[in-house]
Structure 1
Amino acid sequence: MPHDITRLHHVGHVVSDMAQALALYRRLGFHVSPPSVPALAPREGASPDPFGAANTHADLSRSFIELVTPVKAGSTAGLPPDTRIVPLQAPPEKLPMLLSRIEATSAQLGGWCDRFEGLHILMFSSPDVDGAADRLIAAGVDHDGVNTIGRPVETPNGIRTELVRYLEIEGAPEGRVGVVADLDLEFQHTRHLDHPNGAQDLVEAVLCVAEGQLPLVRERFERYLGRPISAEAPITLMTKADLPDLLPGEDPSALPALVACTVTVPDIARVRALLEENGLPVRETGRGEPYVPASAALGAALIFRET
């Protein structure tokens, strides 16, 4: 029977300074577009002010890494000059609800960033998000139901709207955890996949938990995935005591924490040379894979795996 959760859709790296994060990810060898931020005019005839959250993606073949930062109303602090301001457009009767959601998201991001800068968003990919929603409820996993949002996408024929269907699991202590419908193939040609480091796909998230919590967390994620966690699963679970076996020198400041993610590349030697040329420290995991430590990557270790 096919699984309704197959792989990672994206992870979200929450940062306090988007300009700094963009510079880091470009040094890591990713093509990252300028971020966008919603904006709303404070009064009729005034220019729209940014607020809520700014974000951008490092697109991969079937997944992406999201960079996201909370934005104070009317402030562009920490945003690069080429940030795209996206005025909100919504029917008047829906605007209060939209504003409330954006403000709640910004407050949540700010709380996560205060806890620690790093990975706080973990979204799995599904070919059948409605089936996954039903299975999760049957397994006793509460979620907010399947939502649909429109994402503006630049295409050769102008701006088009990509529909994104997703659900968020309630009560996940590591951050925002959920399920998203597989990326729409119709929009694949709009994604930037020509990364200098050759990155192809996001294949693993590493979650570190407190001593004694591993059995409970494993059981919870097995209910999320609908199957036992194996070496091929998109999530790796470990305690803080075992973390040095995989990531020597890593010491998360709070638990539970998404401490690292893994991307695949075709040429590890090329990646090592690029990282060293860009002045980034490179360590080796217990599996023999190079990684950039969290201390040099805004709180989230990045592992490279050769395909």
Structure 2
Amino acid sequence: MAAELLRLHHVGHVVRDMPAALAFYRRLGFVVPAPSYPAMPSREGAEPEPFGAANTHADFPRDFLELATVVDAGGHVPVDASLVPLQAPPEVLPTLLERINATSANLAACLERFEGLHILMFSSPDIDLTAARLATAGVRHGGVNTVRRPAGTEIETVRYLEIDGEQPGAVAEGRIGVVAELDQRIQATRLTDHPNGAVGLVGATLCCADSELNAIQTRYESYLGRPPRTDGSTRVFDLDGTTLTLLPESALDTSLPGERPPALPALVACTVAVRDLTTTQNLLRDHAIPVRRTPTGDVFVPATTAFGATITFRQAV
């Protein structure tokens, strides 16, 4: 099988209250820039107003952790939010609006299940090859989409595909897809030192009913074009220095003591590598953020504290 999917590209945390979640991530020690909100005037001559879906990233050299939300009418918008007025030719605008509204509806459906991790994107060095392999494997997807967005003084091109959810329950855990590798030159302009010492996204954990583990393993084998290794009762996909772990519900409390799945299947945790785990733990303690330890020595912030997502920190190797 082809092995063109290299690693995790990003994990997305969908929240209800962007200002509160943004403040929390900054307390965790992440540098998170002002979120971007698409905006349009509600009537001719009016000022642009935010709508649709908003997001921001904690950026690392090869990947990122995303915060996303649905923009509700009259909802809280961070004071430092960046409004991005839609500017498109008349013939393109309807398609652009359709895309934004579809994303907003998708995030709203995620929040109906629970607040937490709902987005899992993998990085591919050749997304056209990935699209062809998925099609050959019988994995439905929406084809490769291309969007261009401002990135400082430049325009960033993003190519991606999403696994199709037309088959009932096919992607119940959320929005799963593949993105072309980050443009390293543009990504470098976003990088800064995170006070918690974070250097990269190294893991994501998907929890499922014990009875569904084999079926979900088969599904992700078709997505990733490779089999996992078995580690006790878990299945681990090794992805160029990052991992996707499939965790049966019966093993969740052992792996992440005290955690409970909000639904099944669900992305329950993401893991970030840090330069010095002791320094990170001290920062969390100083900011009055409760932490627990895993049996393997990682430190994690429980989902009940972190807006429905278990956020794990691991000593970088």
TM-score, normalized by the shorter chain, greater than 0.5: yes
Match of 1:260 in 2: 269
| 1:160 partner letter | E
- Helix, strand or coil for the counterpart of 1:242? helix
User: In the alignment, which of 269, 272, 276 is matched to residue 278 of structure 2?
Assistant: 269
Secondary structure at 1:295 match in 2:
coil
Bigger shift: 203-212 or 97-106? 97-106
- Mapped to 2, the partners of 1:78 and 1:273 lie a distance apart of 31
Q: Which moved more, 1:22-31 or 1:223-232?
A: 223-232
Amino acid at match of 2:25: Y
Cα distance in 1 for partners of 2:85, 2:299 equals 41
Q: Give the match's secondary structure for 1:187.
A: helix
Aligned to 1:45: 45
The counterpart of 2:255, out of the listed 246, 255, 259, is: 246
Letter of the aligned partner of 1:196 in structure 2?
Answer: P
Match of 1:168 in 2: 162
Q: Which residue of 2 aligns with 1:88?
A: 86
Tell me the TM-score normalized by structure 2. Answer: 0.92
Deviation at 1:266, TM superposition (A): 1.5
Alignment TM-score, normalising by the size of structure 1: 0.95
- SS at 1:200's partner residue? strand
Report deviation, 1:242: 0.9
In the alignment, is the contact (CA less than 8 A) between 1:116 and 1:253 conserved in 2?
yes
Is 1:64 matched with 2:58?
no
Name the structure 1 match of 2:223: 224
CA displacement at 1:151 relative to structure 2: 2.0
Q: Does 1:126 align with 2:107?
A: no
Superposed CA offset, 1:80-126 (max 9, x none): 11111100011112212221221121122112112110000000011
Instruction: Say what the alpha-carbon RMSD is for the aligned residues.
Output: 1.3
Which residues in structure 2 correspond to 1:1-307 (within 5 Å)?
A: 3-73=3-73, 75=74, 77-154=75-152, 159-171=153-165, 172-230=171-229, 231=236, 232-233=238-239, 234-307=243-316
Once the two structures are aligned, what percentage of the paired residues are identical? 57
Give how far 1:44 is off. 2.2
Structure 1 residue 184, shift from structure 2 partner: 0.3
CA shift for structure 1 position 2: 7.0
Once residues 213 and 76 of structure 2 are traced to their aligned partners in structure 1, the CA distance between those partners, rounded to angstroms, is 37
Distance 1:81 1:97 in 2: 30
Which whole-Å CA distance do the structure 1 matches of 2:102 and 2:125 have between them?
A: 29
| C-alpha distance in structure 1 between counterparts of 2:192 and 2:212, whole Å | 38
